[in-house]
Chains A and B, each alone.
Chain A
C-alpha cells in the first residue's frame, strides 16, 4: 500500500489530512486497559502507538518485599485468564535455585492443571476473538466450558481464579479422586460436543474468514526477530513449543503434537489455538491415566510446611510450621531465568536471590510485550476494524502485560 502522504488532494481541491484517534483505554475490544493512539488515513491505519502501563501495579517491587511463598499469589493476578500457568513458572524458578526434587504425583497434578488452564484460557480468548469480529453465540457456549474449568479449580484449591495451588516443592493439597474422575467424564461426555458445536459455527464461516484470513501476516523471520512465542510463532510455521523443546515437570512423558500454521495470519493463530485445545485434552487424558499415587509435595521440611495433623503430634513439625509461615525459607544466592509455555507464549521469571528469605529481584517476562509491540507493523495498511481482530489474535491480557 502506498499511503504515506500526510495530505491528499481531492478532486475539488480540498485538503484532507490524516487524523488521530484514541482507541481505548475504555473500549470493549481493547481486552482490558489498552490505549492505542492511531493515525488513520480515512479508515486505513497508518501508524499505531500502543500505550501500555495503565494497569501497572508494581508487582515486581511488591514481590521484593515479600517472602518467596507470600509472593506466589501475585502471580495469579498477572494473567488472570490463566493463573496456574503463571504460578507454574514461578515455583519452577524457586525449585531451580533450591535444586528441589518434586514428587512425581505432584508433577502430574501440575501438568494436569496447567493444561486445564490452557483450555480455560483459550476458551476465553477464542470467545473474545469471535465476539470482536462480530459473532455472538459461540462465545456464550464456550464460556460455559470455561466455567466448568473454573469449577474444577475450585474443587482442587478452593478458589475459582486465584488458586495459589502450585507451591514450591509440589502442590498445596491432593485432589479428591472424584475430581479426577469428573474431569475425565467431562472430557468424554461434555467438552468436545459443546466445543465442536461452537467451532463449527466459526471455522468455515464466510464472515469469520473474511475478517481474519490474510490479516496481519507476519513472516517467519519477523516472528523470530520480534521475539514472538506461543501460538504467534507457531502460526508462522515454526514448530516451537517449550513443552516439547525444553520439557519441564512430566511433559517429557506426554505424547502430543504441535499444531503449526502455514499462512501466519489471524485465522491461523485462531486455528492453532483450536488445535491446541485438542492436544491439551490429550495431555489431560494421559495424566489421568498415568498419574501414580504418592506424596504431593517434597519431603524437604525446610521448604514444605507440615500437615496440620502432624503439627498436633510433633514438636518439630510445629517449629517448622512457625518458621515457614513467619520467616519463610531461605533460597541460596544466585540467579535463574526460567521460561515455560504459558497459553499465550513464553512466560519467564528472572529470579535473583541474595540468600535471604525474600527475592532480591523478580523480573517477569510478559508474553504480550513483544507481541503488542509488533502491533504497529502488523496493522499498517489494514482497516480500522481489523485492529480488533489483530488484537484478539494476539491474546493479550493487561494484568500480565503491565504487571
Chain B
C-alpha cells in the first residue's frame, strides 16, 4: 500500500519483524505489520523478558507508553500494550500481551523506572495487576474510588456523584441520579450488516428462504 498520509515517518519496518522474531521466537505468538506499525503479541509470563531483549539487544531504549484495552468478548479480556522507541535506530515497535483480572502481568519497573506510573494507570483504569510493581496504588481516580472506570461495562456516568452540601458544609458523595436517560445513538447503517431487527420489522412475517421465493 502506498503511503499517502503525512503522519510521522520513522525508519523502515523492513526486516525488523524477522530480526526480532528470531530472538524472541520462544515466547512469540504473532508478529504483524499493519498501518505501518510493527506489533509483537507475546506470552504474558514472558513479557518482561521480551522487553528486556528488545531494550538490550535491539536498542529500543525508551518505554514511551503502556496502554490498556478492554475486549469483553475475549476469554482474557484485557490487552496491555507497550510502546517502545529506539533513539539510535529511530524506530518504534509495540509489544502486547493479554491478561484477565486474576492473571498478573510481570512488571517492567525493573527495566524502566517510568513504568511505575504507567502500570499504576492501567491498574487503576482496568484492574490489571502487575506482579512485582512495588507501588501499585490508584493514580488518576479519586481517593477511595471503587471500580475500574475504563472497562467497557463501566457506565460512562459512573455510580457516584458529588456536590457541595450547604447543610453539612462539605462535599458529599451520592449515587448518580440522571434527570433523563443517557442518550446513545446508533448511527450504524442498517444495510451495512446490523445484526438486530429494525423497529417495525418484528410485525412483518418472516421472509421465505431465498430458494422458495417464486413458485
Q: Which residues of A line the B interface, CB within 8 A? A: 52-53, 56, 58, 60-62, 65, 67, 92-93, 95-102, 107, 224-227, 229, 238, 240, 242, 245-250, 252, 326-328, 334-340, 346, 348, 350, 352, 356-357, 360-361, 363, 365, 369-370, 373-374, 402-403
Contacts and interface: CB of A to CB of B under 8 A. Distances in A.
Interface string B60-94: 01111101111000000000010100010010101
Interface string B163-200: 00000000000000000000010011100000000000
Contacts of B121: 369
Contact of B64 (A95, A245, A365): A365
Contacts of A338: 7-8
Nearest to A50: B117
Given A96-B36, A225-B112, A61 B5 contact: no
Contacts of B189: 327
Contacts of B8: 92, 242, 246-248, 338-340
Contact of A337 (B62, B65, B142): B65
Contacts of B37: 335-337
Contacts of B215: none
Nearest to A60: B150
A96 B112 contact: no
A187 to B, nearest CB: 25
Contacts of A227: 62-64, 112, 114
A43 B150 CA distance: 41
A184 B55 CA distance: 45
Nearest to B140: A53
Contact of A245 (B10, B36, B184): B10
Contacts of A229: 64
A127 to B, nearest CB: 28
B34 interface: yes
A348 B64 contact: yes
Contacts of A357: 187-188
Interface in B95-117: 112-114, 116-117
Given A335-B37, A350-B67, A402-B140, A96 B9 contact: no
B137 to A, nearest CB: 10
A56 B141 contact: yes
A335 B68 CA distance: 13
A388 B201 CA distance: 65
Nearest to B150: A61
B78 to A, nearest CB: 11
B139 interface: yes
Interface in B138-153: 138-142, 149-150
A238 B34 contact: no
Contacts of A337: 37, 65, 83, 92, 94
B118 interface: yes
A29 to B, nearest CB: 22
B141 to A, nearest CB: 6
A100 B4 contact: yes
Nearest to B63: A227
B87 A334 contact: no
A52 B139 contact: yes
B3 interface: yes
A102 B4 CA distance: 8
Given A229-B64, A340-B8, 16 more contacts: A92-B5, A97-B35, A99-B1, A224-B61, A225-B112, A252-B9, A334-B35, A335-B37, A338-B8, A350-B65, A350-B67, A360-B69, A361-B69, A363-B67, A363-B69, A373-B117
B210 interface: no
Nearest to A326: B187
Given A365-B64, A403-B140, A226 B113 contact: yes
B87 A224 contact: yes
Given A97-B35, A227-B112, A365-B65, A356 B188 contact: yes
Contacts of A53: 138-142
A296 B98 CA distance: 42
Nearest to A298: B4
* Residue among A229, A242, A338, A357 with most chain B CB within 10 A: A338
A98 B83 CA distance: 21
B19 interface: no
11 contacts: A98-B5, A100-B4, A101-B6, A225-B114, A227-B112, A335-B94, A336-B7, A337-B65, A348-B65, A352-B69, A369-B121
Nearest to A401: B140
B7 A95 contact: yes
B39 interface: yes
Interface in B1-59: 1, 3-10, 34-37, 39
Contacts of B92: 337, 339
Nearest to A358: B187
B204 interface: no
B44 to A, nearest CB: 19
Contacts of A52: 139-140
A402 B138 CA distance: 13
B188 A336 contact: no
B162 interface: no
A249 B6 contact: yes
Nearest to B5: A95
Contacts of A107: 6
Contacts of B213: none
